[in-house]
Amino acid sequence: MIHTFTIRFRQLFRNLRCGSLAAGADALPRFIGRCRVLAAVCLLNSLSGWATVQARDAKTTSVPQAINLGLSFLARNAVAWKEEHNCSSCHHAALVVWSMNEAKLHRYAVDEAVLADMTRWLTEAGAGKFNYERPAAAPKALNPKAIYYSLGLNSVPGLNSVQREARSRLLDTVKADQTENGSWSAWPDTRPPILSHSDETMTALACLALLPSANSGDGTARAAVDKAVKWLKATDSDNDPQSVALRLVLWTRLGRPQTEWAPLARLIQKRQNRNGGWSQTAGGPSDAWATGQALYALSQSGLSVTDPLIQRGRAFLVKTQRKDGSWPMTSRPTKPGGAGSESLIPIIGGGSAWAVLGFASSEKVAAAGVSAAKPSSSR
């Protein structure tokens, strides 16, 4: 399009020099006017072409193919991480197990050998404690491994006795990390979004980790969740996109009144970017982590896969997926103004897992007993 504009501009300029435009004092203004018209026409044609490409992509891409490609990447990437580092992690074990099991719920085939290996990895993690000195600003900073690994094991259908015992050890750590006011204290100088700086985000994650045990009769887990819910209700949200998404998931799973969770769903809908994705921070770029998380949360609120907002989010993930099945991600700094990590392996692994989670979970129609939020078309 730029090339076409250049050619037409040169033609107009030659006409001006050769006198084919009307002679006189108004020749130059007419030349400028025609250039403006030409620029407007080229811009409209360009936008029209872009819209056509977008529509064509949306029709020809396959969400199941994208999910399968993502699952294949997660399996390869998890094995490569384990072989190279020989240590379990939130981004290459817990989130992989969670996303694979979510996909299986929707009848997607996964690499069962890798899933079994990653699940075993979680069960052998002990109590999931961090061997780092707590900073003065957060003397009771939580153990995020215990939370993430519990979430991974929560996704395993029909836990066996070894897996239940492993989860119990992890949850003992989660319970012990709860502060007096009911929240969980985040680490202040870690790299988000995997290790969030937000107490609200980590409190919601901790509650989600504890909830299945609380619902199965674990009295101490129920007491911890109730105490945390009291803190969350009394605390204004920090409005971090991850906090909002996870609070929405928690509120719907707890069966809280729609008046409490519907505003969260509408806020997530409102924050969708023009390209269909969501951002981790206000004004930041759309990415797989935030988009997958938003789709996952909205699916919990009962928003149908046929909703245009969900369709745009899924289309964004299809369009941005790389050939190897992963999604591009950037690393955020630990402090404002700092630099991101040189290694993108952890965040690409975590972001790709959330993309698969968002894809798979958003195939649900309205969940039983959960009313849908106000349709996105009413925004």
Q: Write the pLDDT tens digit of every residue in 8-28.
A: 333 333 343 333 333 344 444
298-320 tens-digit pLDDT: 999 999 999 999 999 999 999 99
Direct distance between the N- and C-terminal alpha carbons of the chain, in angstroms, rounded to an integer: 34
**What pLDDT score was predicted for residue 55?**
33
**What pLDDT score was predicted for residue 371?**
34
What's 141's DSSP letter?
Answer: B
> What class has domain 65-378?
mainly alpha
**What pLDDT score was predicted for residue 376?**
36
Burial 352-361 (b: 16+ CB within 10 A, else e): bbbbbbbbbb
**What pLDDT score was predicted for residue 345?**
94
Q: Are 289 and 193 in contact (CB under 8 A)?
A: yes
**What pLDDT score was predicted for residue 41?**
35
**What pLDDT score was predicted for residue 19?**
39
**What pLDDT score was predicted for residue 61?**
59
DSSP-assigned states of every residue in 258-319: HHHHHHHHHHHHHT--TTS-EESSTTPPEEHHHHHHHHHHHHHTT--TTSHHHHHHHHHHHH
**What pLDDT score was predicted for residue 91?**
80
pTM: 0.81
Which residue stretches of the chain have pLDDT < 50?
Answer: 1-58, 365-379
Q: Where are the domains of the chain?
A: 1-15+29-43, 65-378
Rounded to 10 degrees, the C-alpha dihedral 287/289/292/293 comes to -130
Tokens read off for 363: 């195939």
Helix, strand counts (H, E) of the chain? 14, 2
What is the C-alpha separation between 99 and 198, in angstroms, rounded? 23
